[in-house]
Structure 1
Amino acid sequence: MRLAVFGATGRAGRVVVDHALRGDHEVCTLARDPARLRPRAGLRVVGGDVRDPAAVAETLEGADAVISTLGRRRQDGDVCTDGIRTVLSAAAGNMPRRLIVLSNYGVADSRRRTAYVAVSWLLERAVLRDKEHMEALLRDSNADWTIVRAPVLTNGPRTGRYRTGVDLQLSFTAKVSRADLAEFILTELRDNVHIRQSVTITS
């Protein structure tokens, strides 16, 4: 499968790209600094910004599916919202309809009255608001999207022992390794179990 990956220079994105290449997928990524990605067989890197329609369209060309692990940094503003808006616009023609997007637990319909969610919004309000706006764009689109809502991400190994569900409620101890997250994302691309659903993952 040919995959277009956005956010590939981030910590989660790097692991997703590694797992995809080991799974014999072809990967095209978009990076403002292509030198941050190690050249490998099966990997193509387009230089540019995710807010640039031309760069995004080039990244999507020939792709069967899209993965976004975009994350907000202070200097980036609402990069998740802006990025997905650009991707959806570029994909409106003959580009891939299948998107899997990394989000955070505690936004949109997972914004429950729990201590976990309350503290998350207290500490990361700008990040979660960006993710919430991003999710709204996906729900209003015609894409075959899956939103993956994650808790704290760790650098632990792939265990294969994680839980997923559309109604999971997480506690302060919730976490999952980026390796398990990557495995789930690629499994979902293969099996298409959660099309147009938001699914939570935790170890």
Structure 2
Amino acid sequence: MRIAIFGATGHVGRELVAQALASGHEVSALARDPAALPPHERLTVVPGDVRDPEAVGRVVAGADGVLSALGTRSPRGGTVCADAMRRILPAMRSLGVRRLVVVGAYGSGPGRRGAYRVATSLVIPAIMRDKDRQEEVIRAEGDLWTIVRPAVITGGRYSGVYRTGPDLRLGLASRVSRADLADFMLRALGSEDCVRQAVAIAS
């Protein structure tokens, strides 16, 4: 499978790239600094910004599916996730690529989860607004999408043991490693089980 990855130089994105390559997939990834990703014979790195439609199109071209682990480490947030979807989804439509798996945020989008949403909105309001808008764009314009809403993401090792589901309830102490999150996203990309669903994940 050929996989297009956005947010490839972030913590989760690097796991996605590494696991996809280890599984024998071909990967195309967008990076502002291509040197940030180690070279590999099955990795094509496209230099550029996710707000550039031409660069986005080059990454998506020829892909069987798209993974996005975009986000920001700044609590002040921004609009990168929503802006990216406004470039990625048109590129997918024009190039005939239908499958999309995206990192969202637990508590974002429809069916917000009470106390969890309140807490995260107080701590990282701008990030949650961006994730909300990302979901709105995907639900309005996407085709075969899955939004993955993780618990707090840690740097723990891959375990392969985690819980997922559209009705999975998470608490403020819930955790999931970036390696397990990447594993689930790659599995979801090749499956139709979670199509047009927002799915929570936790260890």
- Short-chain TM bin: over 0.9
Match of 1:36 in 2: 36
Q: Note the C-alpha offset of 1:111.
A: 1.8
- Structure 2: distance between partners of 1:144 and 1:160: 25
Q: Deviations over 1:173-197 (max 9, x none)?
A: 1010011111111111222210010
Aligned positions of 1:60-71 closer than 5 A = 60-71=60-71
- Structure 2: distance between partners of 1:137 and 1:152: 24
Task: Determine helix, strand or coil for the equivalent of 1:93.
Answer: helix
Change (3 A) 1:160 1:110: farther
- Structure 1: distance between partners of 2:108 and 2:5: 23
Query: For the Cα contact (< 8 Å) 2:30–2:50, is it kept in 1?
Result: yes
Q: Note the C-alpha offset of 1:41.
A: 2.0
TM score, norm. by length of structure 1: 0.95
- Structure 1: distance between partners of 2:41 and 2:181: 23
Change (3 A) 1:153 1:110: farther
Match of 1:156 in 2: 156
- Structure 2: distance between partners of 1:142 and 1:152: 26
Match of 1:197 in 2: 197
Task: Determine helix, strand or coil for the equivalent of 1:91.
Answer: helix
Query: For the Cα contact (< 8 Å) 2:77–2:130, is it kept in 1?
Result: no
Match of 1:45 in 2: 45
Q: Note the C-alpha offset of 1:91.
A: 1.5
1:80 correspondence with 2:81: yes
Query: For the Cα contact (< 8 Å) 1:67–1:100, is it kept in 2?
Result: yes
AA at the equivalent of 1:99: L
Match of 1:111 in 2: 112
Aligned positions of 1:1-20 closer than 5 A = 1-20=1-20
Task: Determine helix, strand or coil for the equivalent of 2:94.
Answer: coil
- Structure 1: distance between partners of 2:32 and 2:96: 22
Task: Determine helix, strand or coil for the equivalent of 1:179.
Answer: helix
TM score, norm. by length of structure 2: 0.95
Q: What residue ranges of structure 2 are gaps of 5+ in the alignment?
A: none
Task: Determine helix, strand or coil for the equivalent of 2:51.
Answer: coil
Match of 1:175 in 2: 175
